[in-house]
Amino acid sequence: MRRLEDKVAIVTGAAQGLGETYAKAMAAEGAKVMVSDIEDPSRVVNEIKESNGTAVGIQCDVTDDASIAAMVTATEEEFGSVEILVNNAALFAALRLTPIMEMSNEDWDRTMTVNARGSFQCIKGVVPSMLKNGRGKIINVSSGTFYYGGPGMADYVSSKGAILGLTRSAARELGDKNIHVNAIVPGLTISEGVDNHPQLGVAREPTVASRILKREMMPEDLVGTLLFLASEDSDFLSGQSINVDGGRYCQ
């Protein structure tokens, strides 16, 4: 039996990149997936359907409560109450390395709003639907940059550190409601956005050298951990942050 058979899942930021990988992997395991993104998600939805998966799509701004409410309502109308939320939507590939002394307050606020507050808002928007089921799995997406403080990325690194704090607080608050909250902490992953980024190429070789497993990390390397956290296999796990980085940080 597929691990997520008939589970109802929302994946934010799923029209491309890692979110697309997450959405397709969950659909392949039997989940009914709401593919959410601020951009048009129709390509990913169509590709899931072509692979005999179940998906619908919606354009959603994770920093807007009304937009999130519309996403949850559309999911419930199509599939039923939400059981899984993958909080993936974030700014990364569009950001450029900027020293702290040159970073504007506006750039800082924009990154923090989308990356940190957006996940917070989605949790608030989705939990009432999970309560109807009496259970839920929330999977937040942090970043290994938090552990080493990537230079030129103070806004991004801080936003992903906030995700770890949010994960722990939300897990404690929601545990008695049978809602599990955990975080995936990916290392540098060669997604399309990273591959085409004009400034990240220099980080690839030293990153591989720092890992126990001496190779580049691909989006598919995250799928096993994602499915574990989304499935019943992780039913006694909450408040945890799992590094998926080829062993760069041994914790």
Q: What are the tokens at 162?
A: 């906030």
Report the 10 Å Cβ neighbour count for 163. Answer: 23
The SS3 of residue 242 is: strand
On the 0-12 / 13-18 / 19+ scale of CB atoms within 10 A, 190 is: middle
- Angle of helix 118-133 relative to helix 154-174, nearest 10 degrees? 20
Catalytic residue among 22, 147, 148, 156: 156
Question: Amino acid identity, residue 81?
Answer: S
How does DSSP classify residue 220? G
Query: What are φ and ψ of residue 141, in 5° steps?
Result: -120, 110
Angle at 25 between CA 6 and CA 248, to 5 degrees: 135
* Beta-carbon count within 10 A of 103 CB: 16
Nearest to 18 by CA among 111, 92, 83, 82: 92
- What is the Cα–Cα distance from 136 to 138, expressed in whole angstroms? 7
Residue 156 is a catalytic residue: yes
Tokens of 129: 């639907």
Positions marked active-site: 156
